[in-house]
Structure 1
Amino acid sequence: MSLVTRLDIDNGELTVHLPWRWAMAARRRTVRLPLRFLGEVRVEPHWWRAVRPRPAPGYRFRPGRWCVGEIKHTRGRDFIALRAQGPALVVSTSGRQAPYTRLALSTVDPEADAASIRQVATHEKVEPIGVNFLAAWYIRVGTNGARKRPPRRDGRC
């Protein structure tokens, strides 16, 4: 029996069902993502490219076999459930309220699953929430775009 995730799309949510071994390792049976946070959906031919650094405390793996759990990074956290062979389905999200920044999943047929997610997203007219990173940076830094320096003590500017 091969360990892969199963996807369901119902009531405006993408639900990922984990196999029982991965569910025990991840300490959850399902992962839910509202379709309004759906961003890019793609298939990554190499599973290891979908994994970002710094695993969170709930991250579990078996070297050369599988990895499942949360991975934290500067933009948020990812949920991964991957086998160490074959392509991976990568679902990127948008919006600050999204539970995860990205889902990386091993499925039976990632190309077909990606196509079905795209079809449902366009059928329900789900528009991704865009973020203007430049505007967000200006708000964080200040309106003039420059950080204030403390005055110099030697009399120079």
Structure 2
Amino acid sequence: MSIVTRLHIDGGDLVARLPWRWALAARRRTVRLPLKFVDEVRVEPHWWRALRPRPGRRYRYRPGRWCVGEIEHARGRDFVAVHTRGPVLVVSTFGRDAPYTRLVLSTAAPEAEAIRLPRLTADPSKS
């Protein structure tokens, strides 16, 4: 069984629930992003292209296996929870009040999530 992040909608938030191993490394079980900040949802075929340069203090990794936590950069900070196999889901945000500039996540089916999430952000009652 692969370690992946599970996504669901709770009220007006996109909630990413981390697997317990990643939750320990990130020191949090869930990451919440208000749907009003979601700008773009896409799939990045190469996980390493979605990562930005400077890991923050709340960032942990195992070389060649996985990385999880916050990455700081000039435009803000990203939350990353990826394993180094397969494509990743990238959720970009807009607005200064957004908690993260992007979420970069390994999910079971990133292509399906990339299709499902924009529909849910347009109508959150369909969760």
Short-chain TM bin = over 0.9
SS state of the match for residue 58, structure 1? strand
Give the whole-Å Cα distance in 1 for the aligned partners of 2:50 and 2:24. Answer: 22
User: Does 2:40 correspond to 1:44?
Assistant: no
When the two chains are superposed, the root-mean-square deviation of aligned CA atoms in Å is 0.8
Paired residue type of 1:79: F
4+ residue stretches of structure 1 with deviation over 4 A? none
The residue that corresponds to 2:108 in the other structure is: 108
SS state of the match for residue 57, structure 1? strand
Give the whole-Å Cα distance in 1 for the aligned partners of 2:77 and 2:37. Answer: 14
After TM superposition, the structure 1 = structure 2 runs for residues 70-89 of structure 1, keeping only pairs within 5 Å, are: 70-89=70-89
The residue that corresponds to 2:62 in the other structure is: 62
When normalised by structure 1's length, the TM-score is 0.77
Give the whole-Å Cα distance in 2 for the aligned partners of 1:102 and 1:15. Answer: 13
The alpha-carbon deviation at position 122 of structure 1 amounts to 2.2
Give the whole-Å Cα distance in 1 for the aligned partners of 2:123 and 2:32. Answer: 19
The alpha-carbon deviation at position 3 of structure 1 amounts to 0.7
SS state of the match for residue 54, structure 2? coil
Give the whole-Å Cα distance in 2 for the aligned partners of 1:123 and 1:11. Answer: 11
Paired residue type of 1:12: G
Paired residue type of 2:102: R
Instruction: Extract unaligned runs of 5+ from structure 2.
Output: none
User: Percentage identity across aligned positions?
Assistant: 68
Instruction: Extract unaligned runs of 5+ from structure 1.
Output: 125-157
Cα deviation, 1:51-98, whole Å, max 9, x if unaligned, reads 000100110000100000000000000000000010000000000000
After TM superposition, the structure 1 = structure 2 runs for residues 1-157 of structure 1, keeping only pairs within 5 Å, are: 1-124=1-124
The alpha-carbon deviation at position 114 of structure 1 amounts to 1.2
Give the whole-Å Cα distance in 1 for the aligned partners of 2:92 and 2:12. Answer: 16
The alpha-carbon deviation at position 16 of structure 1 amounts to 0.2
Give the whole-Å Cα distance in 1 for the aligned partners of 2:2 and 2:23. Answer: 14
SS state of the match for residue 99, structure 2? coil
- How many corresponding residue pairs? 124
SS state of the match for residue 49, structure 1? helix
Paired residue type of 1:113: E
- Larger gyration radius, structure 1 or structure 2: 1
The alpha-carbon deviation at position 115 of structure 1 amounts to 1.0
If asked which structure has higher relative contact order (CA below 8 Å, sep 6+), I would say 2
